[in-house]
Amino acid sequence: MTSRELTGFLPLDDSQSADADWPRRLSDMAWRIGFGAIGWPWLLASLSGGGKADKRALLDELGLAHDALPHLGSWKADVGFLRHIVREIARLRPAHVVELGAGASSLVAARALRLHGGGQLHSFDQHGGFVDATRHWLADNGLSVDIRHAPLTHESADWPGRWYALDMVPDQIDLLIIDGPPWSVHPLVRGAADSLFARLSPGGVVLLDDAARPGERLVARRWRQRWPHIDFRLVKDGTKGTLVGRRRDVSVPVANDNERGRTWRHVRRAAGIAALVGAGWIARGEMGEFPQPAQASSFLDEAAASRRAGLLRQAMASQVESATLNPQEIETATGIVLPDLPRDWRVTDVQLFPTPDSPAIAMSLETPRGERLSFFADRAETPAEGKPLIERRAADVIAYWEAGNMAYALTGQAAPARIMELAGAIAPSG
């Protein structure tokens, strides 16, 4: 059965064979019990697949019927994660997308690929019957996908739990979607997906579902340590959170430490679970977001550079400005989501601005008072959240904030209090 049928709240059964290693099985059980005790709020929140209006908007964007995804949530992807898939495919125009864990994400990814570039989806799932059902489901929607049965028989030297027996994986991956195996195999099992990170193409992206759960946050922390050329950030715009990883430093080959002998000792590590629960380590929020060093400096430098370029372009008669703002077209072409601007602000120029990762959006604005502002939108990790923060670049004052997986900056030559006031008209928590 697929996401078009009503499915249970628990993942499909994946019982281990009777001759499995009993110490390992006991260790895995201890991890599941421990993380079940501390992770139940996240598991409870995941029962919702997202708002009906958001799902309808996503299906409209893909040109699918409103009943195409009737049952989401629980072990299935939610609308927030599916929207990340669509945005990244629209931005990357990937040739090869690899998916671990088939289902609703397969339908959405395959449809988005048809709309944006026509790349190939390579999907893997541990349940043979589910693979067949999903293949027929996609065929009913006119979609053809390379979907394969990949049983959980592989043993990773670096991560606990059993991993997929993968075959025919592309040598180069533009987008890696990780939505399996389920946490019931082991709370840290998805960490083994980093065995594919060396195949990421320059600018390639990793999407990890359920990223707000305690197990996935521990996975994210280790990934950040092991993969310095991939920038990871947790985006909490769905019911379960999404970890977005982008290979930014394309000049340095991606390397890992899989061969350095840093292995997991399952029984020994499982013994520490009770201590973690007893101390309330995770409950106190000490897990946090495990953020990597902020990218605020580069983001703000790019925002300042885009302002200088915009002012220079406006001063040159030979440079054509474009005052037409089409947020939908921008999102479809680049994946960049623009916030609503005050209606009495005038847009004088809208341009793509090149960055090392992908094109950003730079705009020139004018307020009713005649204040000339620059607005910059890109994906970046900054210390800000919904409420703007203030920085200076030479004579310019920059207010910057985040919303979803986007970072925004508003720049002008007014007093900081005034720039903050103007930013408050755009930022969600301004």
Q: pLDDT, tens digit, for every residue of 90-140?
A: 999 999 999 999 988 999 999 999 999 899 999 999 999 989 999 999 999
Question: Would you place residue 390 in the very low, low, confident or very high pLDDT band (cuts 50, 70, 90)?
Answer: very high
pLDDT of residue 115: 94
- Mean pLDDT, to the nearest integer, of 176-192? 90
Q: What is the pLDDT of residue 178?
A: 97
Mean pLDDT score across all residues of the chain: 80
Helix, strand, coil proportions of the chain in percent (round to 5)?
Answer: 35, 20, 45
Class of residue 85 by CB neighbours under 10 A (exposed 0-12, middle 13-18, buried 19+): buried
Mean of pLDDT values over 9-17: 50
CATH architecture of residue range(s) 296-424: 2-Layer Sandwich (3.30)
Encode pLDDT of 313-336 as tens digits.
888 888 777 888 999 888 887 888
Question: Per CATH, which fold does 22-279 belong to?
Answer: Rossmann fold (3.40.50)
pLDDT at 186: 87
Sequence ranges of the domains in the chain? 22-279, 296-424
pLDDT for 42: 56
What is the reported pLDDT for 151?
94
Segment 254-287, tens digit of pLDDT: 555 443 434 444 444 444 444 444 444 443 333 4
Which pLDDT band, with edges at 50, 70 and 90, does 428 fall under?
A: confident
pLDDT of residue 312: 87
Q: What is the pLDDT of residues 24-80, one digit of tens each?
A: 666 666 656 665 655 555 555 555 556 678 788 888 899 988 877 766 655 567 788
Distance of alpha carbon 307 from alpha carbon 409, whole angstroms: 10
| Dihedral sign of CA atoms 197, 266, 187, 384 in order | negative
pLDDT at 99: 97
Confidence of residue 185 (pLDDT cuts 50, 70, 90): confident
Taking every pair of Cα atoms in the chain, the longest distance, rounded to a whole number of angstroms, is 78
Q: What is the pLDDT of residue 290?
A: 37
Residue with tokens 């921008």: 330
Angle at 64 between CA 63 and CA 66, to 5 degrees: 125
Q: 272: how many CB neighbours lie within 10 A of its CB? A: 12
Distance between CA 379 and CA 361 in Å, rounded?
Answer: 10
- Alpha carbon distance 340, 19 (integer Å): 59
Query: If you compute the radius of gyration of the chain from its CA atoms, what whole number of angstroms results?
Result: 23
Note the pLDDT of residue 240.
76
Within 280-376, residue ranges assigned H as helices are: 296-315, 327-334
Please tell me the least confidently modeled range out of 225-234, 247-256, 389-398. 247-256
Asked if residue 188 has pLDDT above 70, the reply is yes
- Which residues lie below 8 Å from residue 269, measured CB to CB, with a gap of 6+? 27, 160
Helix (H, G, I), strand (E, B) or coil at 159: coil
Q: State the pLDDT at residue 32.
A: 61
Residue 157 has pLDDT above 50, yes or no: yes
Classify residue 294 by its DSSP letter.
P
Taking 60 as the threshold, does the pLDDT of residue 197 lie above it?
Answer: yes
